[in-house]
Amino acid sequence: MVKTKKFILAKHFVDEPKESDLQLVEDDLPALKDREILCEAVWLSVDPYMRPYSNRFPTGVTMIGTQVAKVVESRHPDYEVGIHVVGHFGWQTKTVVNADNPGTWLWLKKPYIIPDFSGLSLSLALGVLGMPGNTAYFGFLEICDPKPGEVVVVSGAAGAVGSHVGQIARIKGCKVIGFTGSDEKVKWLLNELKFDAAFNYKAIDIVKAIQQAAPDGVDCYFDNVGGALSSAVISQMKNRGRISVCGSISAYNADINKLPSAPTVLPLLLRKELKMEGFMVSRWHNRWDEGVEQNLQWIKEGKLVHRETVTEGFENTAKAFIGMLRGENVGKAVVKV
């Protein structure tokens, strides 16, 4: 009998998630049936969406999440033993899954066979060459439609998606301004990612910072965080500016009934004729490989820098998740199982 370790959602999160909301247990896995594969986790992803999404599931479920896993046993002709896949298997070390119909609730309907990354770490399939990378690629280019010379503001700028968006903006010849949560992250954005300007949003006046860095205003805003930071950025948009609403992490731990309501930005949208569009990266699932290939190409050309914050050990996944929500990560937060 094969054993797996997994984290169970013991309590729904209230405010900031606590380690005690998740319970580490051991379970037995069944023998493989036809079309099933046994996968062993190598890398786990911890992502912001897990905070709001997990509360849609009953307590007692395996904590949701994506992982890079090695196929160690297979009764499916498309999945050879030894290959690596990305699967929505949740926070568990081993998984038996029907590869034709894993019963997943996200866009990846089947375990995704990781293509050749030219020797780069397979963990990148959870970051710059995976979901966050495609979020940056499609969510920025398709919605903001940036033009050379335009001013782009990115919030959550030192995270997985934000750091990537800022670099695509530079590749496209834009001027890039990033907002992030520490002076150390600001230095990374300026010195290594070559942002034109970067600010610690916890320590400055956001409106003044934009007025200094971009006196004529902002053409495109890629919004990872929402809240007061975003209201301030939107107040500095040029007429007919474009806003891509990717995430609202500033609100993920909040009681939604206590948040300020939309009218804080609606008069600005009207007066400046702004376009504001939310998206889910799954919209582009039919073009998935295009995003991965382009991002890989930019890495090979030295145009796209990627960074990971790696937590060692499956047992530390809850810590890594809570740390990521607190801003302890630079680049993509992953767990090495």
Ligand X SMILES: NC(=O)c1ccc[n+]([C@@H]2O[C@H](COP(=O)([O-])OP(=O)(O)OC[C@H]3O[C@@H](n4cnc5c(N)ncnc54)[C@H](OP(=O)(O)O)[C@@H]3O)[C@@H](O)[C@H]2O)c1
The residue ranges that bind ligand X (CB under 6 A) are 47-49, 132, 135, 156, 158-162, 180-182, 185, 224-225, 246-250, 279-281, 324-325, 327, 329, 333
Tell me how far apart the alpha carbons of residues 175 and 173 are, in angstroms, rounded to a whole number.
Answer: 7
Which is closer to ligand X, CB of 69 or CB of 249? 249
Shortest distance (Å) from residue 227 CB to ligand X: 6
Shortest distance (Å) from residue 202 CB to ligand X: 8
Q: Detail the DSSP E strand segments found in the chain.
A: 2-9, 22-29, 36-45, 67-74, 84-87, 94-98, 112-113, 151-155, 175-180, 197-200, 218-223, 237-245, 275-278, 308-312, 332-336
Shortest distance (Å) from residue 94 CB to ligand X: 25
Which is closer to ligand X, CB of 90 or CB of 162? 162
Shortest distance (Å) from residue 156 CB to ligand X: 4
State whether residue 40 is helix, strand or coil. strand
Tell me how far apart the alpha carbons of residues 159 and 167 are, in angstroms, rounded to a whole number.
Answer: 12
Which is closer to ligand X, CB of 76 or CB of 170? 170
Within a 10 A sphere around the Cβ of 307, how many other Cβ atoms? 16
Tokens coding 192? 């290594």
Which is closer to ligand X, CB of 107 or CB of 117? 107
Shortest distance (Å) from residue 29 CB to ligand X: 29
Which is closer to ligand X, CB of 160 or CB of 265? 160
Shortest distance (Å) from residue 215 CB to ligand X: 25
Which is closer to ligand X, CB of 79 or CB of 201? 201
Which is closer to ligand X, CB of 81 or CB of 228? 228
Residue 262: CB partners within 8 Å, gap ≥ 6? none
Tell me how far apart the alpha carbons of residues 334 and 311 are, in angstroms, rounded to a whole number.
Answer: 6
Shortest distance (Å) from residue 42 CB to ligand X: 19
Which is closer to ligand X, CB of 72 or CB of 280? 280
Tell me how far apart the alpha carbons of residues 129 and 123 are, in angstroms, rounded to a whole number.
Answer: 9
Shortest distance (Å) from residue 135 CB to ligand X: 4
Kindly tell me the sign of the dihedral angle through the C-alpha atoms of 293, 299, 303, 306: positive
Shortest distance (Å) from residue 283 CB to ligand X: 8
Cα Dmax for the chain:
66
Compute CA distances 123 → 186, 205, 304, 337, whole Å: 25, 37, 16, 11
Which is closer to ligand X, CB of 38 or CB of 162? 162
Tell me how far apart the alpha carbons of residues 146 and 140 are, in angstroms, rounded to a whole number.
Answer: 8
Residue 58: CB partners within 8 Å, gap ≥ 6? none
Asked whether the beta carbons of 244 and 139 are under 8 A apart, the reply is yes
| The amino acid at 53 | Y
Three-state SS letters, 215-270: CCCEEEEEECCCHHHHHHHHCCEEEEEEEEECCCHHHCCCCHHHCCCHHHCHHHHH
